[in-house]
Structure 1
Amino acid sequence: MKKSLILSSVATAVLLSNSYANSNLGEVLVTTATKTKKNIDGVSASVIVVTKEDIEKISASTLKDVFEKIPSINAQYARFPHPSSKSKAAISIRGVGANGTLMLLDGKRLSAETENPYEMNRIPASMIERIEIVKGSMSTLYGSDAIGGVINIITKKITEAQTAIDLKYGLNKKGDAKQKNFNFTTIGKNDYFNYKVFGSIIDEETFTKRKNYTQTAVNPQTGAIIGANPQNGVSGKEDVTFIDDATVLSFGTRLEKNLTDNLLAGIDFNYFKEEREGIYLGNAKFSGGGLIKNTPILSKDNNKRIDVSTDFEYQANKDLATNLKFYRSYYKKRNETTPVNFTGPVNKKFSANVTIDNVESTTTYLLNDSNILTFGAEYRKETRDSSAINPNPSSDDFITKEVTYKSLFLQDEIEITDSLNATLGARYDHISNADSKVTFQAGAVQKLNDNTSLRVNYSQGFRAPDTAELFVVAPVFKDGKRFGSDVIFGPKTTTYDLKPEKSQSFEIALSNNFNKLSSEIVAFHTNIKDKIELVSYGAGAGKYYTSENLDKVEINGLELRLDYDFTNYLNSNFNLTYLDTEDKTLNKELTFTPDISASLGIDYKVTNSLNTNLSLRYIGEQYTNSQNSEKTEDYTLVDLGLNYKINKTASVYGGIDNIFDKEVDEELGVNAGTYTYIGFRFNF
């Protein structure tokens, strides 16, 4: 890069500054992959950028709508030990697993449930400027939890005054799964400060499927069947929930002020509250003694999250910029489950308080015409109070687990020649419940000619075990029980020394832009040592799941992207991902990693005011258990949408998802069938 471009980058590049990036323009600037503002063509890691225009094109009103249509990422359901996990998803990138994906909001971690089953309806799409998805390990910049990749949701930056309102209503062909959304964002400036305010209300009605069940009464300590219990052997049918009846309220604001010409200060406050309710097949205690398995239970959630942060961006001179962040994310989860068929005690086992306190400093320094140094330090404390980790499964008392992270990192972006640049990085992490770790990353981008570039990247990653993997005590999980590796209870009679995951990833990519065709092909190889996975032991009443290390896992993959503009009015995009995963010890494929996933999008501008888009998504077969004895079927979903601009202020949009009412295996998540929606947008 030229010196003028380097100086421009440093002048504006502070940690995760919110820059508008339109994938249809020649220059796309990203921040997540290097923590500096950088042209995506010069980044050695794989990055997907989803712009606000992309979000509007697919008529998305929440983050869930966006993620369902992004290639190369995979939603995994039923990841945590609670019956309602069937309706909540976590995101896996390149087969590494849901716990290896770090989700950020404006560069800050969000507190939530363990094992990342984040209900993505919590984030309204109207507040999003763009989403940057970095595929492959990013541990050298973000530490533990980023072994598979990073998803950074970047909200709208405070620029010129504007107000946006979005109203949407949808339901499936049977009139179920109704959803009403109201989103607004307003941005402005005055003589004292700049401000941004956003809010969202999502009201969602339940979607259920009729299921048969047969109850079993057991002794919770020994697993022995209690034949004399009046609930033992009771059979019936129940409408089981796959989408909760829920009301979700989000509100947030940001205030900014230039204290001096070189110093910008900002304050953020976000508030989120949700109420959820559903009926699931699970376990419940019987008042007369015993545990009733596979019985209908009513699950109610009353949750809230409060995020508070302050940040300072200081431009010391043309060569030196520093960013300092302080933030706290507090999540209060209150869950109650009660039996439907009989009178039993209320179970509050899966309530929790989660707090993340973080201090982070990042400095960018222009060393010379060819080197940009980025160095920083981070201190983070994560505190979890939960009865789910209480070693006494009959107690609702909270147990507290605390983990601290102390980190230092250094990165050098080097211009070797006018056509070759490289990025080198290293990080040191000290974690209170795991060994200290040093990780390295090295990548390079070679411009072969005006249209073609070659990039290579090597990265190391790691992930420390989370609280659930170490300490959870769940008498009910799938067809057995679940215990953390440190737990001794019931059929589990020994502890297990659970080690952090460690990975090495290699990737090579060739990208080309020629006339109307843009393409990229990426080949990657990842070795993971001591990968943390659930394994099962025993059978029947004595069956349980626990977290253990797989000695060695190997993932090979290929990604292909093709974008072609047929005319100024018609363009298309095609994405394909091939994954070959293997547990080398057992010679088995990893669970919930489809061998092939693909998407095809066709956008057609009918008139200057009317746009249509057709989307096809294919998900291949995938195993659902570690023994590779059960496999889901592949499926293809077809969606159709349109946007009509009424005038400069107002537009209407609508569409039909899953036009052909394709059934999806329940192990893979929620599918309400053919779904129709309509919405209105207003921009002032």
Structure 2
Amino acid sequence: MKKKQKQRLVSALVSGALLLAGSTVFADEQEFSLDEYVVTANRMPVKKTETAASVTVITREEIARSGAANVPDIFKKTNVMMSEDATASIPSINGDDRVLILIDGRKLNQEGGQRMGRFGADLYYLPSVDSIERIEIVKGPASALYGSDAVGGVINIITRKGSKPDTHYTLETGSWGLRRYNLNTENKVGDFSYRINFERKHQDDYRYKNSRSGEVERAVNTAVDQDSLNIRLDKDLGNNRSVTLTVDHIDGRKGFNVIPDQTVQPYYYFPNGVKAYVENDVSLTYRWEQGEKTDNFIKLYRNYLTYNYENMTNLYGIDVNWGRFTNQTDGAEWQQTWKFSDNYTLLGGASWRQTTYDNSEQGISDKKITNRAGFLENHWRLPQNWSVTAGVRYDSYSLFGNKSTTRITVNREINNTTNVFASWGQVFKVPFIDEVYGNGIVVPNLNLRPETGDVITLGMNARLAKETELQASVFTSRVEDAITYQNLGTTAFPVYQYANVAEQKRSGLDLSLKRQLSPQWQIAAGYSYVKVEEKEHGAGSYQDDINNSQPNGYRLSLQYGQDKWNADLSLRGATGRNLKAFSSEDYWVVDLGVNYKINPDTRAYLKVYNLANEAYELRGSYKTSDITGAYPMPARQFVFGIDQRI
């Protein structure tokens, strides 16, 4: 019955598109400010007040004022929840870590394996913040546009395009032997532009405040050395056509100690373990007919990530020979927009993507997963500023068969600064390759199925007064055939297997308020509530997720700027956490940043992270350790830097 309903819905959407396609009228070439538009929620530029989604935009100027050194730093002031330990950093949106991460629209999530949670990437393996033009964070489902992974939401990092002659370097030093050097150069000559960014970073073992003793201790074997290179080349071909080449390279070594306190879980304590990693990503994009509700392109790309684990002997004397892992993804995408009238636009596209995963030491040799997909989405503009979108996507996976997802959104633009919206969308997430074929401590499960579900969202974006902006949204979601792991081994040598054993429900709300108090002062505040429940197959009732790190989340930021000074004081916290997973039910962290412009070409800044020296965790330790607080966050850290234009 459900299959027939889906087939009728797909037929109706396609038929509607064809019936309305009497004659094609492409949008005239036009200049418009991207500040008034968002791209990610609809895969094309749409006015913010016509977008039926809760979208947070972080601009290049905001990133510079914050003094953020990496992408996780940027998200600390947003409604993105972070889960971090000494080895990785992953985001959660609407309490779900099935989040799609894009770089200029290119999917970065890997389908291979070796990751934290259900997120197929690591936020520390992203381009330097000096390469970022803006970040768009979309809350809610987007599988009907982007396919697998876009369950909780989508994060799109849009990189900078060279625009003028400019070269500057940044020098940073700080606690725990921190040294960071960054060089950025860009220019535009005629119809050609380039931007090149190089960064080198070193930091010794970080310190953390032990939640049990109250003492600041060294997180053994957590030092990191990393180099990164980001290149973007753009060529304007005329007639609203362009071609862009991007190259991203990361090469690093970091101490790999999953749990830095040896008294917590000796199996995961690796005093000499090292993770060496290399990432090489390249993307070539040809674009034409760019404008409002128009984004046409052909994209070819390769994502390559390899990491090798060395000296992985734990306190039991067991050599956990994880070996070398390689994820390689090759992909091609085509997207076309047809604007048939001022009131009807059709967006469509197709893609091919293949991931090859190799871990010979664990018996996985060149395992592949291939996906072919196509999508259509209709955009109707109706009387009285109503707009409706309806879309469908079809994915065909070599390992998991075929899957179609749909979404429908309704938006009402109240005025130029206010809109209300509702959306419903289906979602799915395919298993990772190592969940299917195993990897040493993981037993294979060749019968794994994709996770499926749907999400409903209601929200509004409003300017309450000239200097006050409000965002509000509520959501509810369900996921069936949720994949979780089961411990099948002994305490000395854990053995796991992934299985479709659970159903999950999520519900919550998010409020964000921003107000310009005066030309010098601005304040921003936010609150989020997320309830996560899980029921194993055959169980009688749902149980709360014990590892929910932020049942109630709070954000407060006060910014000051005048003449040569700029300062930012922020507070973030959470309450209602379970003591089976965390060392405390709540935490409150204060960060401070101060910038001083010495002259037009020189800026000095001071950052203090965790000013009050709070002991806290962002990753729950339930099921991974008998002791809470297994994944402590860094203690108070001071960072001083100078940015100099040459």
- 1:9-58 Cα shifts (integer Å, max 9, x gaps): 77479xxxxx985xxxxx53221111111222221122111111221222
In 2, Cα distance between equivalents of 1:340 and 1:667: 21
Residue 332 of structure 1 aligns with which residue?
306
Alpha-carbon shift at residue 321 of structure 1 (Å): 5.9
Identity of aligned residues (%): 23
2:515 matched to which residue of 1? Answer: 564
The equivalent of 2:333 in structure 1 is 360
Residue 202 (structure 1) shift: 1.2
> How far did residue 542 of structure 1 move?
8.4
Query: Partner of 1:617 in structure 2?
Result: 572
What residue in structure 2 maps to residue 70 of structure 1?
Answer: 77
The one of 297, 307, 314 aligned to 2:288: 314
Contact 2:44 2:293 in 1 (8 A): no
1:280 offset after TM fit, Å? 5.8
Secondary structure of 1:473's counterpart equals coil
Q: Which residue of 1 aligns with 2:627?
A: none
Mapped contact 1:10–1:364 kept (Cα < 8 A):
no
- Structure 2 CA distance for aligned equivalents of residues 302 and 165 of structure 1: 27
Separation of aligned partners in 1, 2:436 and 2:615: 36
CA distance in 1, matches of 2:30, 2:200: 34
Letter in 1 for 2:62: D
Q: Does 1:640 align with 2:592?
A: yes
Residues 258-295 of structure 1, C-alpha deviations (whole Å, 9 max, x = no match): 3453432222222211122355669xxxxxxxxx9566
Question: Residue type matched to 1:467 in 2?
Answer: I
- Structure 1 CA distance, aligned partners of 2:171 and 2:165? 21
What residue number does 1:270 align with? 248
Please say if residues 191 and 237 of structure 2, whose CA atoms lie closer than 8 Å, have aligned partners that are also in contact. Answer: no
TM-aligned CA deviation for residue 77 of structure 1: 3.9
Kindly tell me: are residues 117 and 631 of structure 1, through their superposed partners in 2, closer, same or farther at Cα, counting changes over 3 Å? farther
Q: Determine which of 620, 640, 643 is the counterpart of 1:678.
A: 640
Equivalent residues of 2:49, 2:413 under 8 A apart: no
Q: Which residue of the partner structure matches residue 6 of structure 2? A: none
Listed as ranges, the matches of 1:161-172 within 5 Å are 161-171=165-175
Deviation at 1:502, TM superposition (A): 0.9
TM-score by length of 1: 0.79
Instruction: Tell me how far apart the structure 2 counterparts of residues 155 and 468 of structure 1 sit (CA, whole Å).
Output: 31
Which of 556, 574, 578 is the aligned partner of 1:600? 556
Whether contact under 8 Å (2:221, 2:271) holds in the other structure is: no
Aligned-partner SS, 2:130: helix
Contact 1:111/1:330, CA 8 A, preserved across alignment = no
In structure 1, what residue type is equivalent to 2:500? N
Counterpart AA for 2:636: T
Unaligned runs of 5+ in 2: 1-23, 211-216, 261-265, 621-630
Could you report, residue by residue, the CA deviation over 1:202-221 in whole angstroms, capped at 9, with x for unpaired residues? Answer: 1111125799xxxxxxxxxx
One-letter code aligned to 1:271: H
Aligned residues: 593
The residue identity in structure 1 corresponding to 2:359 is S
For residues 273 and 201 of structure 1, the distance between their equivalents in structure 2, rounded to whole angstroms, comes to: 10
Residue of 45, 49, 52 corresponding to 2:60: 52
Contact residue 644 and residue 651 of structure 1 kept, 8 A = yes
Q: Match of 2:373, as an amino acid?
A: S
The equivalent residue for 2:343 is 370
Name which of structure 1's ranges 200-209 and 399-408 shifts more when overlaid on structure 2: 200-209
Conserved? CA contact 1:10–1:366, under 8 Å: no
Match of 1:659 in 2: 611
After superposition, the Cα gap between the structure-2 partners of 1:146 and 1:555, relative to the gap in structure 1 and judged at 3 Å, is: same
The aligned residue for residue 405 of structure 1 is 371
Q: Secondary structure at the match of 2:599?
A: coil
Deviation at 1:74, TM superposition (A): 2.1
Q: Distance in 2 between matches of 1:554 and 1:38?
A: 31
Instruction: Give the letter aligned to residue 407 of structure 1.
Output: A
CA contact (8 A) 2:58 2:135 kept: yes
Letter in 2 for 1:107: G
Alpha-carbon deviation of 1:649?
1.6
Larger displacement relative to structure 2 (561-570 or 542-551): 542-551
Q: Distance in 1 between matches of 2:237 and 2:492?
A: 65
Q: Which residue of 2 aligns with 1:214?
A: none
Displacement of 1:558 in angstroms is 0.8
- Equivalent-residue separation in structure 2 for 1:671 and 1:316 (angstroms): 44
1:317 Cα deviation from its structure 2 partner:
11
- Give distance in 1, aligned partners of 2:292 and 2:95: 42
The partner residue of 2:435 within 449, 453, 469 is: 469
Partners of 1:92 and 1:9 in 2: CA distance: 37
- Equivalent AA in structure 1 for residue 91 of structure 2: I
Answer yes or no: is the 8 Å Cα contact 2:45–2:294 preserved in 1.
Answer: no
Contact 2:83 2:618 in 1 (8 A): no
The alignment status of 1:503 with 2:453, answered yes or no, reads: yes
Which residue is 2:14 aligned to? none
- In structure 2, the partner of 1:256 is 234
Secondary structure (helix, strand or coil) at the match of 1:34 reads coil
Q: Within 5 Å, give how 1:213-224 maps onto structure 2.
A: none
Is residue 111–residue 331 contact of structure 1 (8 Å, CA) maintained in 2?
Answer: no
Instruction: State how far apart, in whole Å, the 2-side matches of 1:632 and 1:151 are.
Output: 30
Cα distance in 2 between the residues matched to 1:472 and 1:349:
12
2:184 aligns to what?
A: 185
Aligned to 1:485: 445
Structure 1: where are the runs of 5+ without partners? Answer: 1-5, 14-18, 22-26, 79-85, 212-238, 283-291, 391-397, 476-481, 487-496
1:105 pairs, out of 103, 106, 117, with 103
> Which residue is equivalent to 2:275?
301
Partner of 1:114: 114
CA drift of 1:339 comes to: 3.4
Distance in 2 separating the partners of 1:196 and 1:262 = 21
Where 1:53 maps in the other structure, the secondary structure is helix
**CA distance in structure 2 between the partners assigned to 1:423 and 1:546 by the alignment:** 40
Task: Tell me the distance in 2 between the aligned counterparts of 1:295 and 1:317.
Answer: 53
Residue 246 (structure 1) aligned with residue 246 (structure 2): no
Instruction: Specify the code of the residue in structure 1 equivalent to 2:93.
Output: I
* SS class of match (1:64): helix
Q: 1: CA distance between counterparts of 2:267 and 2:559?
A: 50
Q: Deviations over 1:492-519 (max 9, x none)?
A: xxxxx32211121111113321232211
Aligned twin of 2:355: 382
What is the alpha-carbon distance in structure 2 between the residues aligned to residue 678 and residue 378 of structure 1?
Answer: 45
Q: Which amino acid aligns with 1:678?
A: F
Secondary structure of the residue that 1:254 maps to in structure 2?
Answer: strand
- Structure 2 residue aligned with 1:61, among 56, 69, 74? 69
| 1:54 alignment partner, SS class | helix
Superposition deviation, residue 617 in structure 1: 0.3
Counterparts in 2 of 1:275 and 1:540: CA distance versus 1, 3 Å: closer
Alignment of 1:131-210 (within 5 A): 131-171=135-175, 176=176, 178-191=177-190, 193-207=192-206
Shift in CA distance, 667/310, structure 1 to aligned 2, threshold 3 Å: closer
- Pairwise CA RMSD of aligned residues? 3.3
2:12 equivalent in structure 1: none
